[in-house]
Amino acid sequence: MAIKAAEILTAEEFHAIEAQLSERRFAYLTKKIPQPLIRLWDKHMRLIARIVLQESWDCEEIAEDDGAAHIELVGKDNDWLREIVCFKTRPEEDLHITIDPDPAKPHDYKNRWGGKVETIVDDETKGRPTVTTLNCISNRRHLSKFMLAATPLLPPAVQPIKMFLWGGPCASTCATAMQINLARAYSLNAFWPVPREIFNPRSWLENVATLDWPVQVMPINPVFDQSRWCTIGARWKDAKTILTPVMRDAGVICHAYTWLEGDPAPYDAFGELKELLKPRRSCVILSFENQSGVSGWTGTAIDGLANLFAATADDLITETLFRVDGDGDGETDPFIRKILGVAPKRPPFVYRDIGYGGVESRKMVIHKSQATDIITGGKSPQWVNQAITFAIRYALSQLAAAIALAGQVPGSEGLDNLYQGQLDDTLLAFINFVDPRRSAAVGPYAFREHFETGSGSAFTINSVMTLREGWWKTRPYVSFKFDVGDGAPFVLGEDIRLGSRCSAERRGVLHTDQIMAIKRGGARTISSRPVLSFGDDSREEDPMARGFATIGNVANFAAMLAGSGDMF
């Protein structure tokens, strides 16, 4: 039924559309879930076998960590496969697993779970069938198995540049850092000090071309990358440790796609040339994608730069002076980002708080106040100790001078040396903050004091930040976590996927977050619908601390580029 945008639906038309959508939803939810296409591959990503008689299986994708999978093989029907994985494959040789949720779409690499067999547990018990379990780790693990070298274009033994520095839009920055270090690992340093496979000359030039690498990076046009800007610095740290914090702040997700020969050409950034510039072998593609829900006015990287300044200003100013929560979701509204047009947009995917809203489980955690008085310190500011030292030693020297006028007394010379800092750290050594609003709200039996360890000095800028950190840690707050089902009403792989922003309703209030995990599973004859999770019941980072950290990172980045080291 075609409906024009300006038309107003009649009651009959509305009910007709509602009935059509209900029938579509019912048909999808009652459709039998097919068994997945599970394939086992050897160390060169050559197909060994298709696994069809697994006793049980499950796999999970996680947005900010490595997912896992488990496949259980039981009985004589799987003895041939057990023979291959346990005995015919040497322990030092890799085995790979791919799981395609829809066997009718065997080339849908974006919805495919891919990983490496990490451990094989073969359990033989007398009188029972043999159980072989394949414990797998997702290919996102590659992110933690590549180092960001200080001088990536030279061998590890020659590192004249002390730190690898890069900055710009987050997705492009992460992709560029990985591309440079993949070149180091696969091409440049593959010949240092000798070729990696010295007795296999054919392999010497195998990984010189980017399209031949076993792990590749999805190309990004940095001009049109609207992700929030960031800076990174690394000195032989793994990419996951360095990149995860900046990706979390910017809403960027790293997808590790397992691309197989025969799949569609993956590099859409090359346009009409993508068929010519597709991978020449099966590979893992690390794709850094901006899923923050933030766009902007220009559609270019300038929006990401504006987002950086606006988000930092919101963290420092709005969180302190204009803490307005207009929608009641427990988070301060992005005042400055709204003015600059870089505030996250409300996602179109909303799970309503009704019987057929699609939410399978809700977890609300109410965290009560842990303290009303925050204390920090232990040392006086340096200027205080210096002032005390000066005053006492000056007084002692004047006393020595007065004694000398009355006549020389043995031992009077050098009286000022008697003071050796005995009164250091006794004045202004500790600082405390009492939250009056929290104290009034919690009642007279509240937990009172909390000591927050910081730089150690009181009455400094650092001590104020330490007090704020302690105040944030002990604050009362409410967190939510939601598990939603596939097709209720949004379809996984078509409407939403890992990293997509969704909202779930709780008593009229919409809580928005990215889908952080997708879990699938099944048995020999059945498969269950995937479960999607978003929200978090952990403590978020203090916005003010995040704002100062952003300023500090940019300052350190500029200082290192200027050659002034860690002056800032």
**Computed over its alpha carbons, how large is the radius of gyration of the chain?**
31
The amino acid present at 197, given as its one-letter code, is E
Within 13 Å, how many C-alpha atoms sit on residue 81's CB side?
A: 27
Angle at 306 between CA 305 and CA 310, to 5 degrees: 120
Give residue 266's pLDDT.
Answer: 95
Alpha carbon distance, N-terminus to C-terminus of the chain:
64
* Beta sheet of 283-290, edge-to-edge order: 215-217, 283-290, 252-259
Q: What is the pLDDT along the chain (568 residues), one digit of tens a residue?
A: 444 444 677 888 888 887 887 777 777 777 788 899 999 999 999 999 999 989 999 999 999 999 999 999 998 889 999 999 999 999 999 999 999 999 999 999 999 999 999 999 999 988 899 999 999 999 999 999 999 999 988 888 888 988 898 999 999 999 999 999 999 888 876 666 666 677 777 666 667 788 989 999 999 999 999 999 998 988 999 999 999 989 998 999 999 999 999 999 999 989 889 999 999 999 999 999 999 999 889 999 999 999 988 888 887 787 777 778 788 877 888 888 889 899 988 999 988 887 667 788 888 888 899 999 999 999 998 889 899 988 888 888 887 777 777 666 665 566 667 778 888 888 999 999 998 888 999 999 999 999 988 878 888 878 887 888 888 888 888 888 888 888 777 888 888 999 999 998 888 888 888 999 999 999 888 888 888 898 865 545 556 556 556 666 666 656 655 554 443 3
Angle at 511 between CA 519 and CA 307, to 5 degrees: 100
Give residue 367's pLDDT.
Answer: 87
Give residue 462's pLDDT.
Answer: 80
Model confidence pLDDT, tens digit, residues 360-417: 888 888 889 999 999 999 999 888 989 998 888 888 888 777 777 766 666 556 666 7
The strand ranges marked E within 413-486 are 430-434, 449-451, 477-485
Rounded distance between C-alpha atoms, residue 367 and residue 475, angstroms: 8
Q: In the structure encoding, which two tokens stand for residue 448, read together? A: 């009172």
Give the C-alpha distances (Å, rounded to integers) separating 280 from 163, 209, 216.
Answer: 33, 10, 11
Give the C-alpha distances (Å, rounded to integers) separating 346 from 175, 326, 329, 349, 500.
Answer: 27, 14, 13, 9, 12
Model confidence pLDDT, tens digit, residues 160-197: 988 898 999 999 999 999 999 999 888 876 666 666 67
Give residue 329's pLDDT.
Answer: 78
Give residue 484's pLDDT.
Answer: 87
